[in-house]
Structure 1
Amino acid sequence: MSAPWATWDHIVKIDPDKTLVEGETFEDVCATGTDALEIGGTTGMTEEKMARVVEATTAYDVPVYIEPSNVGAVVHREGLDGYFVPIVLNAGDVFWVTGAHKEWARLDSEIDWMATFPEAYLVLNPDSSVANYTEADCDIDADEVAAYAEVAERMFGQRIVYVEYSGTFGDPEMVQAATDAVEETSVFYGGGIHDYESAHQMGRHADTIVVGDLVHDEGVDAVAETVEGVADANSEPIEGA
């Protein structure tokens, strides 16, 4: 059975602790051409905020997944497609490797395991909230990124490796290192995608790009540009092929 994300080029990540651009709606976000919505954020997450966004987005014909940062922000609603659960491989605090996950399993008797998918995160922007929150070791090179990705796929059976630069445009070499290290696992990339060119550039190195702050800061027209950019990147022939 193929993964739900196997054909996705683009994801919009919506932070329930932030607002959309004035005058824009979740229907507008879903109409950008994105392949899926991921609902989650690092700080300020509550069940009430999460439920509001989930209920608003599941009304449209775009897959909706929660990315929970804590058990208190998890909701179960009809129309929700599932859960993407971060496992931060380079976290300094092991709570973000297994601890938070253990607490979710302990406290939530309604988990749909068939719709729950772990994401093997590599957090690489030391100035980001998520790096601070997880005490991530961001001082790693491309060889180490490749090794982490290989461990994720080969040892832990992870089907997603998520290279996260959160708030800044990352190093394509690092993303490519992760892509080259895996065979069947998909590589997601998030961080600093803000226009056609940035989406096109990183779309040549990752299987799927994730756009987050852009939808809150610039709005749906800017998001639509990134959809076009990554689609064009994925339709181009691979160099050397």
Structure 2
Amino acid sequence: MSGPWTQWDHVLKVDPDKELAGDDTFADVCTSGTDAIEIGGTTGMTEEKMERVVGACREYDVPLFQEPSNPGVVIEDPGLDGYLIPTVFNAGDPFWITGAHKEWARIDEVEWDRTHTEAYIVLNPDASVATYTEANCDLDTEEVAAYAAVAERLFGQEIVYLEYSGMLGDTETVAAATEALDDSTLFYGGGIRDYESAKAMGAVADVVVVGDLVHEEGVEAVEETVRGAKEA
């Protein structure tokens, strides 16, 4: 498992449907110290919004990946390093496990060599992504770890993504998921607001993903989470 994410500690997720905070620019975002930028969101996505963010970020020396919420917003841009495609393992609607992916392959020529999947396990029932995918979030620690093991061992997923989206997760659960993996990279996302939360989750996950913070509090706050993740 040799993807670039094996060298990452911190990923910044930028939602094209949201504005940056205050006077922040995409230059500030791209020079925040994050190891990579994911561009995507659950709702309100369009090709135009995606293109705006990619265009603003592609001139900077930071890995840039699109994380499309549906096949209709996938864009082709030489500034992208590739595509990270969620497949929601605990989705109640199978469309979000393989259906959306089938549609993409049907309607478009997929750049398979630049396309990678993320085995999502959604754990906040109040999050938009949980509603959108009808995810079963009522999982205990053993079940989450089992999903992680299945994602790696049976489905060959290089990235397992615990998505708490909007709330800070349980460190014991995150640690159990990490321990269930041999080679896959464990991404953690949700509720990272400061140095302390980033360091706490960075200690039990391979990669900390920060999202809403950049839109709500700005790049200076993000820089604190970069420091926390890297010092974990």
TM-score relative to the length of structure 1:
0.95
State the partner residue of 2:34: 34
Q: What's 2:172 paired with?
A: 173
| Corresponding residue for residue 239 of structure 1 | none
**Secondary structure of the equivalent of 2:83?**
strand
1:106: which partner in 2?
A: 106
User: Could you tell me the percent identity over the aligned residues?
Assistant: 66
Measure the CA separation in 1 of the matches of 2:179 and 2:31: 33
The answer for unaligned runs of 5 or more in structure 1 is 234-241
Alignment of 1:65 onto 2:65: yes
Letter in 2 for 1:88: V
| Deviation sequence 1:120-152 (CA, Å, 0-9, x none) | 000000000000000000000010011101100
1:123 equivalent in structure 2: 122
One-letter amino acid of the counterpart of residue 80, structure 2: L
- Quote the residue 1:80 is aligned against: 80
Distance in 2 of aligned mates of 1:178 and 1:29: 30
Structure 1 residue 92: Cα displacement: 0.2
Return the offset for 1:89: 0.2
Which whole-Å CA distance do the structure 2 matches of 1:221 and 1:149 have between them? 33
Q: What residue number does 1:237 align with? A: none
- Looking at structure 2, the residues matched to 23 and 68 of structure 1 have their Cα atoms a distance apart, in angstroms, of 27
Looking at structure 1, the residues matched to 215 and 164 of structure 2 have their Cα atoms a distance apart, in angstroms, of 17
The one-letter code matched in structure 2 to 1:210 is V
Q: Which residue number in structure 1 is paired with residue 192 of structure 2?
A: 193
Matches of 1:149 and 1:2 in 2, distance apart? 18
| Superposition pairs of residues 45-56 of structure 1, within 5 angstroms | 45-56=45-56
Q: What is the CA distance between 1:23 and its match in structure 2?
A: 1.1
Q: In the alignment, which residue of structure 2 is the partner of 1:212?
A: 211
- Please name the residue that 2:160 is paired with: 161
Secondary structure of 2:231's counterpart equals: helix
> What is the root-mean-square deviation in Å for CA atoms of aligned residues?
0.8
**CA deviations over 1:195-234 (Å, ceiling 9, x no partner):** 000000000010000000000000000000000001110x
Structure 2 spans left out of the alignment, 5+ residues = none
Match of 1:140 in 2: 139
**Comparing 71-80 with 190-199, which one deviates more in the overlay?**
71-80
Q: 1:161 and 1:5 mapped to 2: Cα distance?
A: 11
Aligned to 2:181: 182
1:107 and 1:173 map into 2 onto residues whose CA distance is 41
Q: What is the number of equivalent residue pairs in this alignment?
A: 232
Q: Provide runs of 4+ in structure 1 moved above 6 Å.
A: none
Match of 2:60, SS state, is: coil
Name the CA distance, whole Å, in 2 between partners of 1:64 and 1:162.
18
